[in-house]
A and B are shown apart, each in its own frame.
Chain A
């Protein structure tokens, strides 16, 4: 890192000498662990996690073992006040996202008010014209949001991107906790860790709450099938919620009502937690070649007979050009100042911003507005001259497809490496549930860690791993939070 030592979440700026306030117990635990014991635990973690992973994964052979994302046993920890302020910011942001989506598919007031340019919304590939004018049951669009956060200092949290389509990774939050409870039980005695295992139950309540009508709603999870790489998360969630895991071929639409074929006959379906993209949902409306979807599903949705979670069209909020307007969006719909700031963003569609970006390519991070997974991205500081020049040409050709951001000194957390403990950069994805019953956030999330020294890219496809994310209970708590849950 050119800018000197980044903020460490355990040691602050003390260079491994004094832990930050609230983190003494963890520092003591970490210091007491001998290197040999650390190695033993990490090996046990890998073995346990592997068997846990294989248990959940449908694959049972070597190829599956390789698919398991590396897991690091040193947890990433949020104090109670940190979490309180984070969750208030998340709630505000997700509230604004839902109001924004409602607006752009409805009255489009924000466009009329000149807050956001019309073409960036209506001309967006993620804008789903098929649902314009249709309001989902209970007015909720993005029932499940994964908000990606990064940190640069004690109180400096930034939103890096919003995932309002079909965010994945929540099963890691739950599995990582299982692994930690098995491998480091003493940590849970020493720290009042808030449990996360209520997530499947909260998710099920959220699904039930947005049923279009019937009280005892039949909810199902729609998966592309067992060849999908995230299938084990789908089966894991369906299992833990106690709902059916269905494929497109299990459903049929009759007179705008969705039915599921069971051995005892047809069963009416009210809520579909779908883990397939809009494009594949219904071959009659979207991709006619899709065998994953259900013909007539969109008609049933538009007739108000079934709730789709998340609603079609929510991808508009994931777009990185829209993201750059999020502070304005939050202000417009909530009347409040955003509690969670955006990372400073240059929209290359604007000539000044493009010029600035071109002049500073070696310092910036440049991203495709609709890219994800770390693909289609330039990290100027780490790039070769040739990569920069290739990117420069692409930028000049289609500037509207790109945004640029400064390279942030992401916070680090001590991580087990080949050379012993070392700081590694992390990010964080908490999961925010929105139902007719309000917004709920499980105290935890997915922490991703860049395992390569100095690397800022945490994506699992690019050498990233995961850590458990502890949220500590407030001090006046009656102490039950330390239990295994």
Chain B
């Protein structure tokens, strides 16, 4: 396979995953903001910007801060490369360029997703945003379904690899922001707002019910962290994404008979996660640990690009 094609496929995976994550973030933030007062609502939208690392870019965009403004910025703004619409557009551009490596179903799923959001320039009311997110989620499920039916070889592996790397990054950022930037001073840990936030966070990673099944008790911050970091049965956990990355790279290695830096980094990361538990992480500083994870993930992304000779 051409390196350029591989690069396009990898970025289809990353952008589609990022689009869904941002869409879910918007959905959950709308909900969270509806539960609290005016200040809580503002705080919710500020934290949403922080999760996707866009706080300063938003400030620089010249737009005045308001829940509706942030909602627009995260979903439709053409100035925001990480907006849902920009991500889907970028995924589609990559898909066009790698069209011959895709099945008709995968191409059509990506194109349909684009058609849902293409003509949207104004976010409309809150309900319009929720409807948009719902439609997008359905189309992205269609993309994942089409992806699962592709030939199990390089073509699908690169898209899955991109998605796995992106997912790890997203979940780590979400955890980090929610734990350290979200709680307004004076709010008691374990209070009503607090519980809403834990529940919102689980909703973003579509794991609210799953949490109840596994922990069968009230929402506890350290359990949510344990769930999103260490439980590999939870598809969006860091452990699951680290494991999927190792598995996909092993598939490549089995096919080509060769390994590289990306394989070593991915295995080392998985080993480290398996040797840890939530108690140790919290004791040594969750924030520091998550930041290290995000850095390692970026290093792995770079190693993948070098190993497969992306342009």
Q: Which residues of A contact B (CB under 8 A)?
A: 55, 58-61, 225-226, 235, 238-239, 244-247, 249-250, 260-265
Q: Report the 8 A-B pairs with minimum CB-CB distance, sorted nearest first.
A: A60-B111, A263-B308, A261-B3, A58-B99, A58-B96, A235-B100, A263-B6, A226-B96
Q: In the complex, how many angstroms separate the beta carbon of A293 from the nearest chain B beta carbon?
A: 16
Identify which of A60, A245, A247 gathers the most chain B CB atoms within 10 Å of its CB.
A60
**Residues in B neighbouring A225, C-beta threshold 8 A:** 97
CB distance from A152 to the nearest CB of B (A): 42
Alpha-carbon distance A477/B309, docked complex (angstroms): 53
Which residue in chain B gives the minimum CB-CB distance to A267?
B2
With a CB–CB cut-off of 8 A, which chain A residues contact B6?
A: 263
Smallest beta-carbon distance A55→chain B, Å: 6
Q: How far is the CA of A265 from the CA of B1 in the complex (A)?
A: 10
Residues of A within 8 A of B154 (CB): 263
Check B99–A263 contact: CB distance below 8 A.
no
For the complex formed, measure the closest distance between the CB of A189 and the CB atoms of chain B, giving whole angstroms: 29
Q: Are A261 and B100 in contact (CB under 8 A)?
A: no
Contact status A60-B108, CB under 8 Å = yes
Complex CA distance for A395 and B258, rounded to whole angstroms: 66
- Which B82-135 residues have a C-beta within 8 angstroms of A? 96-97, 99-100, 104, 107-108, 111, 115, 118
Q: A60 → chain B, closest Cβ, in Å?
A: 4
Residues of chain A within 8 A of B284, CB atoms compared: none
Q: What is the CA–CA distance of A246 and B115 in the complex, to the nearest angstrom? A: 28
CB distance from B310 to the nearest CB of A (A): 9
Given A60-B111, A263-B308, A264-B258, verify A245-B4 contact (CB < 8 Å): no
Q: Is B1 a contact partner of A262 (Cβ separation < 8 A)?
A: yes
Cross-chain contact A246 with B2 (CB below 8 angstroms): yes
Query: Which listed residue (A60, A244, A263) contacts B309, Cβ 8 A?
Result: A263
- Contacts A55-B104, A226-B99, A235-B99 given; indicate if A250 touches B256 (C-beta within 8 A): no
Tally B residues with Cβ within 8 Å of A.
22
User: In the complex, A118 Cα to B17 Cα: how many Å?
Assistant: 63
Tell me whether B96 and A244 are in contact (CB under 8 A): no
- Report which residue of B2, B107, B118, B311 has the largest number of chain A beta carbons within 10 angstroms of its beta carbon: B2
**A226 vs chain B, min Cβ distance (A):** 5
**Can you list 10 A-B pairs, Cβ within 8 angstroms, ordered by A?**
A55-B104, A58-B96, A61-B118, A226-B99, A245-B100, A250-B2, A250-B4, A262-B3, A263-B3, A264-B256
With a cutoff of 8 Å between Cβ atoms, the chain B residues found around residue A58 in the complex are: 96, 99
- If over half of A's interface residues share one DSSP class (helix, strand or loop), that class is named, otherwise mixed; here it is mixed
**In this complex, which of B96, B104, B252 has the most chain A Cβ atoms within 10 angstroms of its Cβ?**
B96
Known: A55-B104, A60-B111. A262 touches B2 (CB 8 A): yes
A231 to chain B, nearest CB (A): 8
Complex: chain B residue closest to A61, CB-CB: B115
Extra A-B contacts (17), CB below 8 Å, given A59-B96, A225-B97: A58-B99, A61-B118, A226-B97, A226-B99, A235-B100, A246-B2, A250-B4, A261-B2, A261-B3, A261-B309, A261-B311, A262-B1, A262-B2, A263-B252, A263-B308, A263-B309, A265-B309
Q: How far is the CA of A265 from the CA of B256 in the complex (A)?
A: 11
The interface residues of chain B lying within 8 Å CB-to-CB of A263 are: 1-3, 6, 154, 252, 256, 308-309
Q: How far is the CA of A58 from the CA of B96 in the complex (A)?
A: 6
List of A residues within 8 angstroms of B115 by Cβ: 60-61
Query: Which chain B residues numbered 251 to 272 have a C-beta less than 8 Å away from chain A?
Result: 252, 256, 258
User: For residue A247, which residues in chain B have a CB less than 8 angstroms away from its CB?
Assistant: 4
Q: Which residue of A lies closest to B100 (CB)?
A: A235
Contacting residues, chain A, for B97 (C-beta < 8 A): 225-226
Residue of B nearest to A57 (CB): B99
Chain A residues within an 8 Å CB radius of B252: 263
From residue B11, how far is it (CB to closest CB) to chain A in Å? Answer: 14
Docked Cα-Cα span, A244 to B107, in Å, equals 19
Complex alpha-carbon distance, A60 and B96, angstroms = 9
Interface core residue of A239, A244, A245, A263 (most chain B CB under 10 Å): A263
**B211–chain A nearest beta-carbon distance, Å:** 39
- Which chain A residue shows the least CB distance to B97? A226
Could you tell me if B311 and A249 are in contact, using CB atoms closer than 8 angstroms? Answer: yes
Which of chain B's residues have a CB closer than 8 A to the CB of A246? 2
Contacts of A261 in B (CB 8 A): 2-4, 309, 311
CA distance A55 to B100 in the complex (A): 11
CB distance from A320 to the nearest CB of B (A): 36
Among A225, A238, A245, A262, the one with the most B-chain Cβ atoms within 10 Å of its Cβ is A262
Contact of B4 among A239, A249, A264, A265 (CB under 8 A): A249
Cβ of B187 to closest chain A Cβ, rounded Å: 48
Which residues 225-246 of B have a CB within 8 angstroms of A? none
B207 to chain A, nearest CB (A): 33
A246–B2 Cα distance when bound, in Å, is 8
A358 to chain B, nearest CB (A): 50
Give Cα A264–Cα B257 distance, bound, in whole angstroms: 10
Residues of B close to A245: CB separation below 8 A: 100
Give A250 to B8 CA distance when docked, in angstroms.
Answer: 13
**B1 neighbours in A (Cβ, 8 Å):** 262-263
Smallest beta-carbon distance B54→chain A, Å: 29
Q: Which of A238, A244, A249, A261 has the most CB of B within 10 A?
A: A261
Q: Are B256's CB and A238's CB within 8 A?
A: no
Q: Which residues of chain B from 1 to 29 have any CB-CB distance to chain A below 8 Å in the complex?
A: 1-4, 6
Q: List residues of chain B with CB within 8 A of the CB of A250.
A: 2-4
Instruction: Report which residue of B6, B100, B309 has the largest number of chain A beta carbons within 10 angstroms of its beta carbon.
Output: B100
| Min CB gap A59→B, angstroms | 8
Residue of A nearest to B255 (CB): A264
Q: Which residues of B contact A262 (CB under 8 A)?
A: 1-3, 309
Q: How far apart sit A262 and B108, CA to CA, in the bound complex (Å)?
A: 26
- Within the assembled complex, what's the spacing in Å between the Cα atoms of A473 and B118? 50
Inter-chain contacts of A238 with B (CB < 8 A): 100
Closest to B256 in A: A264
CB A21 to nearest CB in B, in angstroms, measures: 44
